Amino acid sequence: MIDRTGKLSRLAVLLALATAIHSLESLIPFTVGWFRFGFANIIGLATLYIFGFKDAVWLTIGRILLGGLISGQFGSPGFLLASAGGIGSIIVMGGAYWLAGRYLSEIGVSVLGAVSHNMIQLWVAYLMLVKNESILLLAPIMIIAAIGTGIINGFAGKILIKRMKLLAPKL
Amino acid sequence: MRAWFRYFTPGDITLIFLMCVFAAVLSFSLPNRLATDGNIVFIRCDSKLVGRYALNHDRVISVKGPLGETKVQIEGGKVRILSSPCPNHYCVKMGEISAGGATLLCVPNQVVVRVGGNESQRLDAISR
């Protein structure tokens, strides 16, 4: 039995956290083009495990909208890529958790989410922005990078989920 | 070391391994799929084909983009962008290309120059 107010306030805190991480991360400078850690996905992962698929999707949509407004990217090509990748990856993670949750830990689900995030972004960039086949050559590099960030985020998400369940065993 | 590893389930390890294999396969197969024997220069503007030109026939082509005219020069089997109305002239600085699959592009003026083979004669597959 979950009380609705407790759930709502926890989701609000998670959304605020995800938005903050999402916006702060865009400030980290990288020499390698589009490389990002996608730390905001830690929150999406935790929401998926604690509150379920529907809330995780809403949290991701909210995070992208608010993050886009804060970083001033709302409506830009970067925003289009972020929304396609973010929403696509949370759907893949939800599917993976539902179908293969017995075999995969948080780390596996997170790796799948990160890889699908990058592949969807690359595909959308190809279809809508660049329209040149050569960009698809980035795919292997992006998969390897996603495996790395996916493992890191999976670990962080695992710890977060454990702590949150300790704090509120009812959830 | 052992403690660090026990956080992964066998499923995780398999998944990560499969992803690495997928990346490796792609990195070998993609360049072959995208490479073409280059003797034709394809010029696109706003993703519409402006024209195709033989690489061994020297000429200067001007392409009308949203910002103005981009001049593309074919000379001695090589293509370069001679001049462009874009602010940064990255396309001019890209230099000259000649290999199949190589691309010059000017994003502000939406001009894409690509060296390729005769696309209509390309084979889909070979069975034997």
pLDDT at A129: 75
**pLDDT digits 0-9 by tens, A6-43:** 889 889 999 999 999 988 887 777 655 567 788 899 99
pLDDT for A27: 78
B7 vs A: CB within 8 A: yes
- State the CATH architecture for B40-118: Sandwich (2.60)
Confidence category of residue B121, pLDDT binned at 50, 70, 90: very low
Domain residue ranges of chain B, discontinuous segments joined by +: 2-34, 40-118
Query: Residue B122: is its pLDDT beyond 70?
Result: no
| Residue of chain A with shortest Cα separation from B6 | A105
Q: In angstroms, how far is CA A76 from the centroid of its own chain?
A: 19
Distance separating alpha carbons of residues A160 and A46, to the nearest angstrom: 7
Given A104, A132, A140, which is nearest B12 (Cβ)? Answer: A104
Which pairing describes strands B69-75 and B48-54: parallel, antiparallel, or unpaired? unpaired
pLDDT at residue B86, as a whole number = 86
| Residue of B4, B9, B15 for testing the chain A interface, max A β-carbons within 10 Å | B15
Residue B104 has pLDDT above 70, yes or no: yes
- Of the partner residues A103, A132, A143, the one whose CB lies closest to the CB of residue B9: A103
A69-104: b or e for each residue (b if 16 or more CB lie within 10 Å)? eebebeeeebbbbbbbbbbbbbbbbbebbeeeeeeb
Residue B116 near residue B40, CB atoms below 8 Å: yes
Q: Which amino acid is at B116?
A: G
Is pLDDT above 60 for B119? no
Q: Are strands B103-106 and B69-75 parallel, antiparallel or unpaired?
A: unpaired
The yes-or-no verdict on residue A56 having pLDDT over 90 is: yes
Decide: B41 and B111 in contact? Cβ < 8 Å: no
CA distance B54 to chain A (A): 20
Q: Which chain B residue shows the shortest CA-CA distance from A105?
A: B9
Interface contact flag, A136 B34, Cβ < 8 Å: yes
For testing contact with chain A, the best of B14, B19, B42, B111 (most A CBs within 10 A): B19
In order, the DSSP letters of chain B are: -HHHHTTS-HHHHHHHHHHHHHHHHHHHHHHHHH-----EEEEEETTEEEEEEETTS-EEEEEE-SSSEEEEEEETTEEEEEE--SSS-HHHHT-EE-STT-EEEETTTTEEEEEE--GGG--S----
- Which ipTM did the prediction report? 0.82
How many domains is chain A partitioned into structurally? 1
Contact A104 B15 (CB under 8 A): yes
Q: pLDDT tens digits for A100-115?
A: 888 899 999 999 999 9
CB pairs under 8 A between A and B: 65
Q: Assign B124 a pLDDT band (cuts: 50, 70, 90).
A: low
Q: What is the CATH number of the domain that holds A60?
A: 1.10.1760.20
Instruction: Report how far apart, in Å, the C-alpha atoms of A105 and of each of A118, A146, A169 are.
Output: 21, 17, 20
Residues sharing a CB contact under 8 Å with residue A97, sequence separation 6 or more, in sequence order = A48, A49, A53, A104, A109
CB A57 within 8 A of CB A90: yes
pLDDT, residue B1, reads 54
Domain holding A40, by residue range, is 4-167
Chain B hits for A140, Cβ within 8 Å: 23-24, 26-27, 30
